[in-house]
Amino acid sequence: MAGMDIEPFRIAIPDADLADLHRRLTDARWPTELPGTGWTRGIPLDHLRELADHWRTGFDWRAQETRLNAFPQFTTDIDGQRIHFLHVRSERADATPLLITHGYPSSVAEFLELIGPLAGDFHLVIPSLPGYAFSTPLAGPGWTMARTARTWAELMRRLGYARYGVHGGDVGAGISGLLAGLDGEHVIGLHVVTDPWTAAATATFIPGSADRLDADDPVDKLIKDRMDAFRTDGSGYLSLMNSRPQTIGYGLTDSPLLQLAWIAEKFGEWTDLPVDRDQMLTTVSLYWFTGSGISAAHTLYDQAHSSEWGTPPGVPQGFAVFGSDETVRKLIPAPATAHWVEHERGRHFPAMEAPAELAADLRAFFGPLT
């Protein structure tokens, strides 16, 4: 790989950056909270105080840094942008290459519990999205999902993988779907994860979705209620980044308290099963130490203003639905031949909530395609 402009990479956050984080958390200026509001107006004060105190006094960044560095990491420049990625090769030469893409607000740390169960069957390529963590600084505007998908195709070409599978959730699902459409000659299959609330939220961005719902149908009513709840109460974070990423970026870059609240709120609202607190704080730390809160917001802005959606994938498709209920089949345009697995528990971050179940789904889907 050295001859392909791919360089080895190790995470090494300076001690001064750790000291600065601890100082800022110690000196944080805390707001008041209206009594009796719970989660209805954002992350509760007591919950965030407990997380911030653990981040400052109990969380061991060096241990998490060592854990991340246990996996081979590299960087390369594609389309003018530095791309960071984990590349964990199986001992089996005939293992299936699998490209795994995270979403927002996430990072490669999302998949740490998934790597071990998958490493025997797959050569794993897990990149940081452009503008996230060590795929920074963001070289310029225009990093939409479609552009990232083209970048991923080039990354896999540089790694020498002529045939590979793709998997993702959230933004990573969109990128994986676009990649399967534009590089179908090399992609052997597309596997994505979703949940009923994410599916309903996504439907709010598809013109005419609400018009197709029958008010007298109880399943359609549940979908509509979730779409309305996302518009009125759940989309504020996204609306701000989709319209004013530079403005919110000042706070995300200057205040670890804001960066922590911005991400921890979503983990609190979007999970069903417990997520290891230190694993979540590893992702928060990656955003903080690399200053990528603002650059990630810029990519969400670019996607919100993009109309490039590529072509439908013509490869085998697999879906793993977590927290499944009767709404998802109506919301997901899965072909009749799609691999479809439903899980009663888990939600938006199944690689952290239910890694064993997700690993089993990936092996079951991609196994026959090798």
Q: What residues act catalytically?
A: 170, 301, 348
Written as one letter, the residue type at 151 is T
> Beta partners for 97?
123
DSSP states along 11-56? ----HHHHHHHHHHHHT-------TT-TTTTSS-HHHHHHHHHHHH
Question: What are the DSSP E strand ranges found in 119-269?
Answer: 122-127, 164-169, 187-194
Compute the chain's Rg from CA coordinates.
20
* Residue 215, both tokens: 């008010």
CA distances from 234 to 41, 71, 84, 266 (A): 10, 35, 31, 10
Amino acid (one-letter) located at 335? P
Is residue 100 within 8 A of residue 73, CB to CB? The reply is: no
Q: What gap in Å lies between CA 29 and CA 49, rounded to an integer?
A: 11
CA neighbor of 200 nearest in space, from 220, 176, 174, 175: 220
Cβ atoms of 289 and 65 within 8 Å: the answer is: no
Please tell me the chain's helix, strand, coil percentages from 3-state DSSP, rounded to the nearest 5. 50, 15, 35
Q: State the helix-helix crossing angle for 236-243 and 245-254, rounded to 10 degrees.
A: 110
Q: Among 127, 157, 166, 121, which residue's Cα sits nearest to residue 143?
A: 127
CA 192, CA 333: separation in Å to the nearest integer? 12
Q: How far is 108 from 145, CA to CA, in rounded Å?
A: 17
Spatial contact of 81 and 158, defined as CB atoms under 8 Å apart: no
